[in-house]
């Protein structure tokens, strides 16, 4: 299937209001932004993920941690059946609004509110799983990855994208965020040194789950416990390695 002719970003409905939570306003600013730079960054995970997946007419897709559904209009072009999952009810509700608005209430897309640690699906159910910008929010990644292993078919493919929140990449992300008025988590100098320098010394900084305390290298090792990694790419410019803001990992379930 030709990515160039099929891929496009479809605008979400205007759901922002003064009662929106900070987290809602953050995602609306990302995917609904009028800034090309911000929107391009927001859709980087999807743009590159699709390039490394082969779809068939019968592909069953799971978009885990779908948030309010920004990737669903595009995934709708590629699969016969899409399940989109998120733990937050209001996110699932907004994703349904997006599907109704952009896809004319597509019956191919089904939205489910559930905890990723206990997925309500039978074993060997999906051909492809997209887990884009999700693992940094998971407190028990091994249990979560075990659930993905359970519901993925043998030889099924997964695509993970992970933020790089360490080293030079962290400084660049924060710098670009200020220039582009891009909403970013705030780092204190002490937190930065804890996250970067202490980790290099082999000691692990323990803190809250999220971008601030996330190290993609740890998660890569977790992924290898369950799946065979068949491709790793730094995006958008691979040869710059971990100076990039995001790393993409493609894996396969092998029994």
* Average pLDDT value for residue range 187-192: 71
- Superfamily of domain 42-165+214-252 in CATH is Vaccinia Virus protein VP39 (3.40.50.150)
**From CA 133, how far away is CA 137, in angstroms rounded?**
8
For residue 193, pLDDT over 60 is answered with: yes
Residue-level pLDDT at 7: 45
Q: How confident is the model at residue 13 (pLDDT cuts 50, 70, 90)?
A: very low
- Top pLDDT among 68 and 35 is at 68
Chain-wide mean pLDDT for the chain? 80
Q: What is the mean pLDDT of residues 7-14?
A: 46
Q: Which long-range contacts (CB under 8 A, 24 or more apart) does 168-175 make?
A: 168/242, 168/243, 169/242, 169/243, 169/244, 169/245, 170/195, 170/196, 172/243, 172/245, 173/245
The candidate with the shortest Cα–Cα distance to 26, out of 159, 196, 211, is 211
Whether the per-residue pLDDT at 10 is higher than 70: the answer is no
In 3D space, the residue among 49, 119, 58 whose CA is nearest the CA of residue 84 turns out to be 119
**Span 127-182, pLDDT tens digits:** 999 999 999 999 899 999 999 999 999 999 999 999 988 777 887 777 777 776 66
Q: Find the mean pLDDT for residues 189-201.
A: 61
Residue 198's CB is within 10 A of a number of other CB atoms, namely: 12
**Domain ranges, ordered by start, for the chain:** 42-165+214-252
70-74, 110-114, 131-135, range with the lowest pLDDT: 70-74
Q: Which of 105, 80, 95 is nearest to 1 (CA)?
A: 80
pLDDT of residue 223: 98
For residue 248, the cross-strand partners are 161, 233
**Taking the CB of residue 38, how many other CB atoms lie within 10 A of it?**
20
Q: Can you give the pLDDT at residue 120? A: 95
**What is residue 3's predicted lDDT score, i.e. its pLDDT?**
39
pLDDT of 180 reads 66
What's the whole-number mean pLDDT along residues 73-78? 84
What pLDDT is attached to residue 36?
74
**Of 130, 144, 167, 112, which is closest to residue 52 (Cα–Cα)?**
130
Q: pLDDT tier at 194 (50, 70, 90 boundaries)?
A: low
């Amino acid at each position: 299937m030709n990515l160039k002719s099929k891929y496009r970003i479809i605008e979400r409905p205007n759901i922002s209001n003064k009662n929106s939570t900070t987290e809602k306003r953050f995602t609306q600013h990302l995917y609904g932004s009028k800034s090309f730079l911000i929107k391009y960054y927001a859709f980087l995970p999807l743009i590159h993920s699709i390039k490394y997946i082969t779809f068939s007419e019968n592909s069953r897709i799971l978009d885990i941690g779908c948030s309010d559904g920004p990737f669903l209009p595009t995934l709708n072009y590629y699969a016969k059946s899409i399940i989109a999952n998120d733990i937050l009810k209001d996110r699932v509700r907004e994703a349904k609004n997006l599907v109704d608005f952009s896809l004319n209430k597509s019956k191919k897309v089904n939205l489910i509110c559930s905890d990723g640690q206990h997925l309500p699906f039978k074993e060997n159910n999906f051909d492809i799983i997209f887990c884009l910008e999700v693992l940094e929010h998971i407190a028990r990644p091994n249990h979560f990855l075990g659930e993905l292993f359970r519901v993925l078919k043998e030889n099924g493919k997964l695509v993970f994208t992970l933020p790089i929140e360490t080293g030079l990449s962290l400084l660049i992300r924060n710098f670009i965020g200020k220039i582009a008025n891009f909403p970013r988590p705030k780092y204190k100098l002490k937190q930065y040194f804890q996250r970067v320098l202490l980790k290099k010394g082999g000691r692990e900084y323990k803190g809250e789950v999220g971008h601030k305390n996330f190290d993609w290298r740890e998660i890569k090792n977790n992924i290898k416990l369950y799946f065979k990694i068949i491709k790793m790419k730094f995006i958008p410019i691979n040869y710059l390695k971990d100076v990039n803001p995001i790393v993409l990992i493609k894996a396969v379930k092998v029994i």
